[in-house]
Amino acid sequence: MNNDDFLNKVEEVVDILKQSKSILLITGAGISAESGLPTYRGISGLYDNQNTEDGIRIEEALSGSTFTRKPELTWKYLSQMELACRGKSYNRAHEVIALMESRFERICVLTQNVDGFHHKAGSTNIIDIHGNLHDLYCRQCVYKETVNDYSNLETPPKCPNCGSIIRPDVVLFEEILSTVKTKQLSEEFQKGFDVVLSIGTTSVFPYIAQPVVNAYYAGIPTIEINPVQTRVSEFAQIKIKEKAGVSMNAIWMILNRD
């Protein structure tokens, strides 16, 4: 995308935002890639189109059934995911999304990412639909803890209260989404949005693609920021083929230019 096309599309986005009060931002792995994280397939990653060193697909290693049968195996790959996040932090795209709360009446962030970067950047209305890798809990008692570094955990880690195996508060393959978070998402949808932005996600999950599709057919402006074509690109009124950080920074700078 050449610079003139990029700036023209950014101006179009800004014109829409200036007329908006409520905004839904849907984010995926692409927004955190600029922080140095590998892009994930589902919540997995690091093993795109290949088996793990244990000879099984990452989806199987990070599944609910494997966690039940072999928690040490699931924890092995959860730990590799955490290691990929360790020492990394939010970037300009996360910052701008958090800053938007000071400009608009209502901002909602629907993210597939489990890295917690939106929280760290300062966003407050976040639906992390796949959970947060750093929030650990016990299914047998009330133990909960936020852990930013897995290096001191045994594999698999056990609850200090009851001795049961603990787990991160993430949705593993084969598991259903949190009813609390799907209810929160439903309530946000009922309030409605003036514009929907899809940023750095290929939108392979129906619950990630559907808000864009629904907005498109309802005549609500839809914007996609992604260098590649995705499952929702045809439903994007404006498509910016650029990285999230560059795009969101340009949008914010022009939005506040006057």
pLDDT at 46: 44
CATH of domain 3-37+90-130+176-255: 3.40.50.1220
pLDDT at 43: 41
Which long-range contacts link 136-141 to residues 24+ away (Cβ below 8 Å)?
Answer: 136/166, 136/167, 136/168, 136/169, 137/166, 137/167, 137/169, 138/162, 138/164, 138/166, 139/164, 139/166, 139/167, 140/164
Per CATH, which fold does 58-86+137-170 belong to?
SIR2/SIRT2 'Small Domain' (3.30.1600)
Task: Tell me if residue 130 is catalytic.
Answer: yes
228: tokens are 């590649």
pLDDT at 38: 74
pLDDT block averages, 10 residues each, the chain of length 258: 93 98 96 82 46 86 96 94 91 98 98 95 97 96 95 95 97 95 96 97 94 97 96 97 97 91
- Catalytic residue chosen out of the listed positions 94, 119, 130, 134: 130
pLDDT at 39: 67
DSSP state, residue 127: E
Each domain of the chain, given as residue ranges in start order, spans 3-37+90-130+176-255, 58-86+137-170
